[in-house]
């Protein structure tokens, strides 16, 4: 038996039937990390001793018939989720030795459901990036080809799942940071509706855009994890007071290989975006064909304000980052530059040395846009555009159940290729940003490969709190396409 091939669903069955032990499963994955992660760099911290201790306890719980939803299943966490007693760095020098005194709500829920926290994954510093090249620790590579990026900012989580270092991982999505790396690494990435999952214990980048979600080997596992991490949280005023359905029920609606009765909207504005790679178009057209064969009606729709999404996002997100990251001043916690003359000098040197180039760039943009005389011209106007984007989607979902699009305009690019061109890097998120601006759910599902063997995904987006439609359509598509090669060969 190849332990690393197990999904959450298959691992749970074997564990609960006592055909394998959590200790053996966790040990096998830790051995795989030790063997292969030197060339991939998916992890910042591997918590070997604690993981094995948790696994032993899980095996005892199973023997005593005290099982929960994830008892004994190894999960990786993006390194900006607070973990009690375990370093949380946000891939930044400024938090290099920060050890939280509490677990974030999602982490707590995973632990309460018996999950084994195997380690913390690499990311773009403070989640600012699209390639995981902005980490202050190391660059993460794509498991399919180590010369290419895995995407970002949750590139470490996506790479860890694709490399089969864990059964699943948790990422965060501010502008596509779950869906884009999932597409580049050939795994499933789900960004829930804003408010579906508590953000308490998440180190914020842009508070009105950030959302925690699962990165998994298949759609079924995404539903399983979403069941566990969703729900109202008194510690997070932005979490929604709305019932959490059993997301796995979505699969019961996919009967006899059909999705009849569903309508997919294709935004005409997305199809006119310049620079879409021809291989992405081929995969996207193939996905449309499969959905048609499954009974989905394909309809052209319009999202009129698409041209303004990138510009509005890159005002709102840096403004919120400027506010959120002001707390990292060297006084309360984190890195402090001691070679200073006075308090102001300490602030300047601490932030200059503690933050990387991309974080500094976004803080400067945000601070400028929020400064006296510019707030209304920039942040105020971007917020108005955001309202128009939300209205576009509300109108669109009156005509369709979900929106179908590419995830990114091109497959994964080579490491270093776009590092000196931030505008090109920002445009790689053109298809994913809208979901964050509108607060709607989106999912990336593997749909094919480029001529270089790199994965290409498709994106589905649904109305607020309608993850069921995404999971139903995604499950049907996944079961039908049956990709020949699901994971890299190692």
Tally Cβ neighbours within 10 Å of residue 484: 6
**Is 198 an annotated catalytic residue?**
no
Tokens of 40: 């991939």
Q: 298-330 burial by CB neighbour count: b if 16+ within 10 A, else e?
A: eeebebebbebbbebbbbbbbbbbbbbbeebbb
DSSP letter at 102 equals S
Looking at the DSSP assignment, which residues form a beta bridge with residue 190? Answer: 443
d(CA 247, CA 361): 39
Helix (H, G, I), strand (E, B) or coil at 258: strand
- 């760099």: which residue's tokens? 41
Active-site option among 78, 109, 191, 217: 78
Helix (H, G, I), strand (E, B) or coil at 171: strand
- Contacting residues for 232 by C-beta, under 8 A, at least 6 apart: 198, 239, 240, 241, 242
Percent helix, strand and coil across the chain, each rounded to 5? 45, 15, 40
d(CA 259, CA 481): 14
* Edge-to-edge strand list for the sheet holding 43-46: 43-46, 116-121, 74-78, 168-173, 211-216, 188-191, 442-449, 455-462, 402-406, 263-267, 297-301
Contact call for residues 354 and 306 (beta carbons, < 8 A)? no
Element (H, E) at 183: helix 179-185
d(CA 249, CA 395): 27
**Is 204 an annotated catalytic residue?**
no
> Do strands 74-78 and 263-267 pair parallel, antiparallel, or not at all (unpaired)?
unpaired
Active-site option among 177, 322, 434, 444: 177
Element (H, E) at 131: none
Looking at the DSSP assignment, which residues form a beta bridge with residue 448? Answer: 456
Written as one string, the DSSP assignment of 307-350 is GGHHHHHHHHHHHHHHHHGGG-SSSSSS------SSHHHHHHHH
Tokens of 308: 């303004």
Active-site option among 153, 157, 198, 469: 153
d(CA 189, CA 435): 13
Contact call for residues 465 and 240 (beta carbons, < 8 A)? yes
Tokens of 250: 């979505």
Task: Find out whether the peptide bond into 153 is cis, omega within 30 degrees of 0.
Answer: yes
**Is 371 an annotated catalytic residue?**
no
Catalytic residues: 78, 153, 177
């Amino acid at each position: 038996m190849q332990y690393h091939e197990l999904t959450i669903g298959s691992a749970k069955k074997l564990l609960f039937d006592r055909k394998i032990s959590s200790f053996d499963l966790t040990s096998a994955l830790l051995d795989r990390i030790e063997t292969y992660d030197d060339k991939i760099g998916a992890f910042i911290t591997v918590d070997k001793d604690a993981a094995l201790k948790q696994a032993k306890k899980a095996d005892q719980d199973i023997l005593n018939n005290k099982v929960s939803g994830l008892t004994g299943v190894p999960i990786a966490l993006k390194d900006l989720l607070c973990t009690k007693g375990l370093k949380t760095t946000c891939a930044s020098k400024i938090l290099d030795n920060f050890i939280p005194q509490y677990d974030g709500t999602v982490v707590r829920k995973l632990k309460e459901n018996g999950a084994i926290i195997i380690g913390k994954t690499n990311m773009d510093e403070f989640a600012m990036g699209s390639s995981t090249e902005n980490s202050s620790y190391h660059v993460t590579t794509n498991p399919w080809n180590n010369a290419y990026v895995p995407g970002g900012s949750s590139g470490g989580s996506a790479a860890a799942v694709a490399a089969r270092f864990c059964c699943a991982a948790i990422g965060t999505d501010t502008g596509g940071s779950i869906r884009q790396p999932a597409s580049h690494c050939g795994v499933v990435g789900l960004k829930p509706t804003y408010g579906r999952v508590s953000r308490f214990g998440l180190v914020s980048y842009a508070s009105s855009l950030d959302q925690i979600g699962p990165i998994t080997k298949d759609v079924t596992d995404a539903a399983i994890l979403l069941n566990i991490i969703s729900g109202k949280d008194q510690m997070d005023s932005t979490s929604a007071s709305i019932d959490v359905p059993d997301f796995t029920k979505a699969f019961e609606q996919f009967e006899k290989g059909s999705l009849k009765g569903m309508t997919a909207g294709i935004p005409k504005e997305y199809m006119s975006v310049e620079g879409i790679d021809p291989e992405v178009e081929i995969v996207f057209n193939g996905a449309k064909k499969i959905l048609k064969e499954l009974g989905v009606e394909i309809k052209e729709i319009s999202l009129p304000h698409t041209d303004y999404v990138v510009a509005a996002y890159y005002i709102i997100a840096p403004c919120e980052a400027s506010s959120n990251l002001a707390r990292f001043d060297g006084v309360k916690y984190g890195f402090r530059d001691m070679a200073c003359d006075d308090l102001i000098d300490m602030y300047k040197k601490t932030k200059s040395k503690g933050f990387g180039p991309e974080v500094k760039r976004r803080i400067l943009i945000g601070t400028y846009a929020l400064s006296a005389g510019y707030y209304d011209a920039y942040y105020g106007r971007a917020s108005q555009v955001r309202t128009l984007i939300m209205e576009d989607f509300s109108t669109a979902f009156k005509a369709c159940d979900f929106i179908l699009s590419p995830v990114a305009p091109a497959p994964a690019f080579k490491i270093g290729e776009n590092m000196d061109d931030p505008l090109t890097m920002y445009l790689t998120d053109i298809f994913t940003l809208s979901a964050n601006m509108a607060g709607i759910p989106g999912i990336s599902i593997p749909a094919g490969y480029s001529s270089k063997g790199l994965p290409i995904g498709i994106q589905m987006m649904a109305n607020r709190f309608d993850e069921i439609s995404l999971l139903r359509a995604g499950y049907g598509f996944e079961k039908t396409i049956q990709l020949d090669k699901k994971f890299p060969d190692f």
